[in-house]
Chain A
Amino acid sequence: MEASITAIDLARFQFAFTISAHIIFPAFSIGLASYLMVLNGLWLKTRDDAYLRLFDYWKTIFAVVFGMGVVSGIVMSYQIGTNWSVFSDKTGPVLGPLMGYEVLSAFFLEAGFLGIMLFGRERVGDRLHMAATTIVALGTLMSAFWILSVNSWMQTPQGYSVNDVGQFVPEDWWAIVFNPSFPYRLVHMVLAAYLTTAFVVGAVGAWHLLRSPDSRSSGIMFSMAMWMALIATPIQIVAGDLHGINTLEHQPAKIAAMEGHFESYPEGRAPLILFGIPDDETGVVNYQISVPLLGSLILTHTLDTPILGLDAFPEDQRPQSAMIFWTFRIMVAVGFAMLGIGLWSAWARLKGRLYSAHWLHRAAVVMGPSGFLAVLCGWITTEVGRQPFTVYGVLRTSESAAPLQADAVGASLVAFIVVYFFVFGSGTFYVLRLMSKRPKNKINIDDIGPTMAAPAASNPKSVKSKTGRGNHG
């Protein structure tokens, strides 16, 4: 018995590790695919070289990130079977077809047109190349649609019955796909992907503006990123709030754990615990700093609606509070910091100082990886908050795992950790190195080699004048 418990813990850790590593790439590539579509569209519309340069610049980064997303994603599609075979057998009839649709309508689409997007501009012409770029962006969004439907069904299952061998049998596909938490999760995640990308693009633009303030393409990307931050962050905060209300309705235990509410508030008037250290053993939030009434206002938008605490649920149905209390707060804090950057940039823009506000640029560089942090913390919150179930309220995590030995899971876990840190660490390094170079003219003297070097020296001014910054934005 001891050994099988350990095998499940290891399998859980392995899934958490591989999916956390994976989500980093789509969180970036979903936004980047759309950004590339916009850049290519702007290039075709304006024929302004700066946009083409930016397209080629981000295209190379996209190729590296997308490749890592593909190889880490294939691991996910097989790991459900290797480590969670009982879960696979039971949920396959419901979740399998949704993933099947993801493969058929998204993965093939992305893969089929990625080659043309990356290598095919000269072969197919601008128009078809633009179509391919658009299709890749659409594919990433379709993928998000299906996989978030899958995850949401695990959070808020409906539209199924259970057959005599314990499998979930689909009864109403509309109810399954559009389960109650899905619309909120989809909007929240797609916005998160866009914001993640915007802050990476903004940081790269800001970094180059700090080093060479005249770089026009750096200015363009910084400006576009800051528009995104200004517009999308408030929408995201509203979407997150609505998502939270939805979770309160369908998974109140998760909200209780996120908020550190070990005890119920039958008359509402719950405080907001800003900080503290929840202790799941004793059911107390130690060292807490709280604001009276604000908890009720945020969660129910009223003062007196009753709020359930963890004590309202049987002990074997409670998620642990200690971790998600904090991951949730980190996510929210990052969100408000993003809002701050968006507002700061708007102010700088109004003052006409967007491209020379060094402190704003420095802050934007620091905020570059913030989207990844928020995405990881958000996902940890919602996934750990679903425990102790894989399918909320119906299928327990402890009853989902494969009949595996701890040594097999442990060995594969070590292999994944070593390979992931090495391969994706290298990939991240290469991406950062690509980002550290400024976007440049398509014909680059250094890259082409000695044959082009001599003629290029004759007219260096024409190259330089192209990089002078216009009054974009």
Chain B
Amino acid sequence: MVDLPFIWAGLIAFAVLAYVLLDGFDLGIGILFPFLKDRDERHLAMNTIAPVWDGNETWLVLGGGGLFAVFPLAYAIVMPALYPLIIAMLLGLIFRGVAFEFVHRTKRLQGFWEFGFWGGSLIATISQGMALGALVQGIAVDGRAYGGGNWDWATPFSVLTAVALVVGYALLGATWLILKTESETMKRARSFAWPLGIGLLALIGAVSLATPFLRPEYLERWFGWPSGLWSAIVPLLMVFAIWHLWKGLRDHDHLRPFLATVAIFVFSFVGLGVSFYPNIVPPSVTINEAAAPDSSLLFLLVGAAVLIPMILAYTAYSYWVFRGKVRPGDGYH
């Protein structure tokens, strides 16, 4: 018998990772908004993501909806536990999402919606970063429900992960701009990428050092024997990605800094997975406990097996259609 909950845990993790990578550079561009030169450059940056942001955000719906479908218990515990963060994220995403159209629909309030694009992106990122920190720290569970208070998620560690995610998304955004723009804007993006890259490494280092000491099982996972040996692969891969980022930025490569940043995110994500497994809601709810009955998992898996490859194919096609550098005046507005 195949282990359906395990397959689904992998698929949900994939959806979350896809979201983080894809909407990460969208949100990163929002975060960088105030640092761009002028309105034209901001709109140019926005146009690089206008055709794809909606598809990118859909991975968040798959992450949430998928959790509801296949791990309803985890969904039912985590959502109330992170209540204010989820609400703040949703409100932030509203301002971010409508800005794509609204900035072109008004002259008088254009600055306001640009501000909303920045603020919305920033708030959504901070909320996601704090949610991540709160999850890693562990969620209090009482029976089949959340057992903690309204403010359990607000800790120094979750502030640290929030800052790390803001810097990380900003780096994704900056390297995306290196890939998608030319001349002045590209140079500016590269000048952002250097300090962001260094900052991100410092923050990842701080999070990595703090994590094993949050819970004894994390410490065992990372420094125990022989599990620590396997876990050590992750930091080694990370060094490899960092080297590519440094080299890509130094050689004025257009694509490599973005791919290297993606790799840094992927390896960080794998590192989180190492800490989490076999829990889905640390410290006490396992993948198996939270899983829906097999009839639910199988029914959706049949569709996912057919549809997810199709989604990846047409998403890739859409990126291919809009490939290349974006120039001022592109887009239909």
Contacts and interface: CB of A to CB of B under 8 A. Distances in A.
Interface of A: 63-64, 67-68, 70-75, 77-78, 80-82, 85-86, 88-97, 99-105, 107-116, 118-120, 123-124, 163, 165, 167, 169-171, 173, 402-405, 408, 412, 415-416, 419, 423, 426-427, 430, 433-434
B250 interface: no
Contact of B51 (A67, A90, A116): A116
B123 to A, nearest CB: 11
B60 interface: yes
A412 B87 contact: yes
Given A107-B58, A120-B322, A123-B322, A426 B300 contact: no
Given A64-B105, A89-B144, A103-B65, 6 more contacts: A78-B90, A101-B303, A104-B62, A111-B55, A120-B51, A403-B80
Contact of B321 (A68, A80, A124): A124
B79 A68 contact: no
Contacts of A415: 87, 91
B80 A93 contact: no
Interface in B106-139: 106, 109
B55 A112 contact: yes
Interface string B292-305: 11011001100110
Given A81-B68, A165-B144, A96 B296 contact: yes
A167 B72 contact: yes
27 contacts: A67-B100, A68-B98, A77-B61, A80-B68, A81-B80, A81-B86, A85-B80, A92-B71, A92-B296, A94-B296, A104-B307, A111-B55, A113-B314, A113-B318, A116-B321, A118-B51, A124-B321, A402-B145, A408-B83, A412-B87, A415-B87, A419-B95, A423-B94, A426-B102, A427-B101, A427-B102, A433-B105
Contacts of B105: 64, 430, 433-434
B55 A88 contact: no
A136 to B, nearest CB: 11
A404 B101 CA distance: 35
A71 B321 contact: no
A163 B293 contact: yes
Contacts of B109: 426
B75 A100 contact: no
B91 A419 contact: yes
Given A85-B80, A107-B58, A114-B54, A99 B93 contact: no
A442 B321 CA distance: 23
A102 B66 CA distance: 11
Given A80-B68, A104-B311, A119-B332, A74 B61 contact: yes
B145 A85 contact: yes
B76 interface: yes
A119 B331 contact: yes
A431 B57 CA distance: 23
A420 B77 CA distance: 27
Nearest to B68: A96
A81 B73 contact: no
Contacts of A70: 54, 57, 97
Task: Please name the 6 residue pairs, one residue from A and one from B, whose CB atoms are nearest each other, closest first.
Answer: A92-B72, A96-B69, A81-B79, A115-B51, A89-B76, A111-B55
A96 B102 CA distance: 33
A89 B106 CA distance: 44
Contacts of B271: none
Given A93-B292, A100-B69, A64 B101 contact: yes
A271 B49 CA distance: 60
Contacts of A85: 75-77, 79-80, 145-146
A3 to B, nearest CB: 13
A163 B98 CA distance: 43
A123 B66 CA distance: 34
Contacts of B83: 82, 404, 408, 412
A4 to B, nearest CB: 13
B233 to A, nearest CB: 32
B50 interface: yes
A165 B73 CA distance: 11
A332 B279 CA distance: 52
A430 B146 contact: no
Given A88-B79, A403-B145, A93 B293 contact: yes
